[in-house]
Structure 1
Amino acid sequence: MAAFRQQKAQRLARADASRKGALDEGAAAVVQLLNGRARFCTTSSCSGRLVLVQGGAAMTALQKATGDVVLKFEPFVLHVLCQELQDAQLLQSVAIESGFRNSGITVGRGGKIVMAVRSTHCLEVPLSHKGKLMVSEEYIEYLIQVANQKMEENTRRIDRFYKRLELALKMAISANNSPSEETEKNRSVYIHRRKRKTILEQDVHTSPKDRNEELQPEDDTESNLDIFAEIVI
Structure 2
Amino acid sequence: MSQNAFDQKKASILNEINSPQPDLSPKGSIDELCIPIMELINSHKDMVTTSSCSGRVSVFAEGTKNYNEETKVGGKGQGGRWLFVSHDSTNVIGWLDRLIHDSEVDDIIVNTNDSEDNSKFDGATRYILYKYEPFILHVKCRNFEIASKLYNTSMGCGFRESGIGSNNIVAIRINIKLDTPIGFINEGSNRLAFFVTERYIRLLDNITLTKFSDNAKKIKQLYNKIESDIIQKRDPGNAVEKKLTETKEERRQRKMKEGLERQRLLNETKSNEL
Q: CA deviation at 1:147?
A: 1.1
Which 10-residue stretch deviates more, 76-85 or 7-16?
A: 7-16
What is the CA–CA distance in structure 1 between the aligned matches of 2:157 and 2:237, rounded to whole Å?
A: 24
Does residue 1:47 correspond to 2:54, yes or no? yes
Q: CA deviation at 1:170?
A: 3.6
Does 1 or 2 have the higher relative contact order (CA < 8 Å, sep 6+)?
A: 2
1:192-225 CA-to-partner distances (Å, cap 9, x unmatched) read xx9xxx9xxxxxxxxxxxxxxxxxxxxxxxxxxx
More helix by share: 1
Look up the match of 1:141.
202
Which 10-residue stretch deviates more, 132-141 or 31-40?
A: 132-141
Q: CA deviation at 1:142?
A: 0.9
Quick check: which has more Rg, 1 or 2? Answer: 1
1:156-186 CA-to-partner distances (Å, cap 9, x unmatched) read 00000001100112443154449xxxxxxxx
Q: Secondary structure at the match of 1:44?
A: strand
Identity in percent: 30
Look up the match of 1:20.
27
Q: CA deviation at 1:53?
A: 1.8
CA RMSD of aligned residues (A): 2.8
1:16-56 CA-to-partner distances (Å, cap 9, x unmatched) read 21122221110100111111211011110011111122324
Look up the match of 2:119.
none
Residue 31 (structure 1) aligned to one of 27, 38, 49: 38
What is the CA–CA distance in structure 2 between the aligned matches of 1:151 and 1:101, rounded to whole Å?
A: 18
Structure 2 length-normalised TM: 0.60
What is the CA–CA distance in structure 2 between the aligned matches of 1:100 and 1:17, rounded to whole Å?
A: 26
1:89-131 CA-to-partner distances (Å, cap 9, x unmatched) read 1111111122211111012xxxx21000001211111110123
More strand by share: 2
What is the CA–CA distance in structure 2 between the aligned matches of 1:45 and 1:106, rounded to whole Å?
A: 16
Counterpart mapping for 1:45-84 below 5 A = 45-54=52-61, 55-58=81-84, 59-60=96-97, 61=99, 64=108, 68-84=127-143
2:59 touches 2:82 (CA, 8 Å); kept in 1?
A: no
2:58 touches 2:82 (CA, 8 Å); kept in 1?
A: no
Alignment CA distance shift 1:38-1:156 (3 Å): same
Unaligned 5+ segments in structure 1 are 179-190, 199-230
Count how many residue pairs are aligned between Structure 1 and Structure 2: 182
What is the CA–CA distance in structure 1 between the aligned matches of 2:33 and 2:43, rounded to whole Å?
A: 17
Q: What amino acid sits opposite 1:10 in the alignment?
A: S
Does residue 1:116 correspond to 2:175, yes or no? no
Look up the match of 1:6.
8
Q: CA deviation at 1:76?
A: 0.3
What is the CA–CA distance in structure 2 between the aligned matches of 1:90 and 1:56, rounded to whole Å?
A: 37
Structure 1 length-normalised TM: 0.69
Look up the match of 1:156.
217
Alignment CA distance shift 1:120-1:56 (3 Å): closer
What is the CA–CA distance in structure 2 between the aligned matches of 1:46 and 1:119, rounded to whole Å?
A: 12
Q: What amino acid sits opposite 1:121 in the alignment?
A: I
Q: What amino acid sits opposite 2:49 in the alignment?
A: T
Q: Secondary structure at the match of 1:173?
A: coil
2:129 touches 2:180 (CA, 8 Å); kept in 1?
A: yes
What is the CA–CA distance in structure 1 between the aligned matches of 2:205 and 2:237, rounded to whole Å?
A: 47
